[in-house]
Amino acid sequence: MEHVTALEHDRERLGRSSTAEKVADILRERIAEGFFAPGERLSEEAIGRALGVSRNTLREAFRLLSHERLLEHKLNRGVFVRVLSAGDVSDVYRVRRVIEGAAVRRATPEGIAAMREALREGEQAAEEKRWRDVGTANIRFHQALARMNDSQRLDDVMRQLLAELRLVFHVMIDPRSFHGPFVPRNQELVALLAAGETDRAARALESYLDDAEALLIEAYRPREN
Amino acid sequence: MEHVTALEHDRERLGRSSTAEKVADILRERIAEGFFAPGERLSEEAIGRALGVSRNTLREAFRLLSHERLLEHKLNRGVFVRVLSAGDVSDVYRVRRVIEGAAVRRATPEGIAAMREALREGEQAAEEKRWRDVGTANIRFHQALARMNDSQRLDDVMRQLLAELRLVFHVMIDPRSFHGPFVPRNQELVALLAAGETDRAARALESYLDDAEALLIEAYRPREN
DNA sequence: GCATATTTGTCCGTATGTATA
DNA sequence: CTATACATACGGACAAATATG
Residues A93 and A163 in one domain: yes
**Contact check, Cβ <8 Å, A64/B67:** yes
Q: What is the pLDDT of residue B18?
A: 86
Q: Domain tally for chain B?
A: 2
Residues B115 and B215 in one domain: yes
Nearest chain B residue (CA) to A148:
B94
d(C-alpha B93, C-alpha B209), whole Å: 7
Residue type, B174: D
Residues B175 and B124 in one domain: yes
Q: Are strands A71-74 and B41-42 parallel, antiparallel or unpaired?
A: unpaired
Mean pLDDT calculated for residue range B153-175: 90
Closest-lying nucleotide for B23 based on CA to C1': D9
Q: Are strands B78-81 and B71-74 parallel, antiparallel or unpaired?
A: antiparallel
Residues B170 and B196 in one domain: yes
Residues B162 and B102 in one domain: yes
Closest-lying nucleotide for B76 based on CA to C1': C8
- Which chain A residues have a beta carbon less than 8 Å from that of B153? 91-92, 94-95, 157, 161
To the nearest whole Å, the CA of B140 is away from the closest chain A CA by 21
Last residue of a domain, one of A63, A81, A99: A81
Q: What is the pLDDT of residue B8?
A: 52
Nearest chain B residue (CA) to A155:
B95
**Contact check, Cβ <8 Å, A101/B102:** yes
Asked if strand D contacts B57 at the CB level, meaning under 7 A, the answer is yes
Mean pLDDT calculated for residue range B159-175: 88
Contact between residue A163 and residue B101 where contact means Cβ atoms under 8 Å apart: no
Mean pLDDT calculated for residue range B5-15: 46
Contact between residue A209 and residue A97 where contact means Cβ atoms under 8 Å apart: yes
DSSP type of residue B144 = H
Residue type, A43: S
- Find which of A28, A60, A92, A94 to mutate to test the B interface (most B CBs within 10 Å of its CB): A94
Return the CATH number at A20.
Answer: 1.10.10.10
Q: What is the pLDDT of residue A2?
A: 42
Which range of residues forms the domain containing residue B71?
A: 2-81
A154 to chain B, any CB pair closer than 8 A? The answer is: yes
- Select the residue of A20, A75, A94 nearest B151 (Cβ to Cβ): A94
Q: Give the dihedral sign, CA A182/A185/A190/A193.
A: negative
The CA distances from residue B97 to B148, B158, B218, in Å, are 14, 11, 19
Return the CATH number at A133.
Answer: 1.20.120.530
Q: What is the pLDDT of residue A222?
A: 61
- Find which of B28, B44, B63 to mutate to test the A interface (most A CBs within 10 Å of its CB): B63
Last residue of a domain, one of B60, B81, B102: B81
To the nearest whole Å, the CA of B124 is away from the closest chain A CA by 34
What residues have CB less than 8 Å from B70, skipping those under 6 apart?
Answer: B28, B31, B81, B82, B163, B164, B167
User: B164 φ, ψ to 5°?
Assistant: -65, -40
Closest-lying nucleotide for A77 based on CA to C1': D7
Last residue of a domain, one of B39, B55, B81: B81
Residues B130 and B160 in one domain: yes
The proportion of chain B whose per-residue pLDDT surpasses 90, expressed as a percent, equals 78
Q: What is the pLDDT of residue A21?
A: 80
Residues A192 and A112 in one domain: yes
d(C-alpha B219, C-alpha A74), whole Å: 43
Contact between residue B133 and residue B50 where contact means Cβ atoms under 8 Å apart: no
Res B142 pLDDT > 70: yes
Residues A31 and A97 in one domain: no
Q: What is the pLDDT of residue B11?
A: 45
Reading chain A (225 residues) residue by residue, the pLDDT tens digits are 444 445 555 544 443 357 878 888 888 888 888 888 888 898 888 888 888 888 888 887 888 888 889 999 888 888 999 989 999 999 999 999 999 999 999 999 999 999 999 999 999 999 999 988 999 999 999 999 999 999 999 999 999 999 999 988 887 778 788 888 889 999 999 999 999 999 999 999 999 999 999 999 988 776 554
What mean pLDDT value characterizes chain B?
Answer: 90
Residues B54 and B104 in one domain: no
Residues B149 and B208 in one domain: yes
Residues A107 and A152 in one domain: yes
Nearest chain A residue (CA) to B161:
A153
Tell me the CA–C1' distance in angstroms for B75 and D17: 9
The proportion of chain B whose per-residue pLDDT surpasses 70, expressed as a percent, equals 91
Tens digit of each residue's pLDDT (9 = 90 or more) over B84-120: 999 999 999 999 999 999 999 999 999 999 999 999 9
B86 to chain A, any CB pair closer than 8 A? The answer is: no
Tell me the CA–C1' distance in angstroms for A56 and D8: 11
Residue type, A29: E
Residue type, B212: A
Residues A54 and A132 in one domain: no
Work out the pLDDT band at B225, boundaries 50, 70, 90. Answer: very low
- Select the residue of B20, B63, B161 nearest A64 (Cβ to Cβ): B63
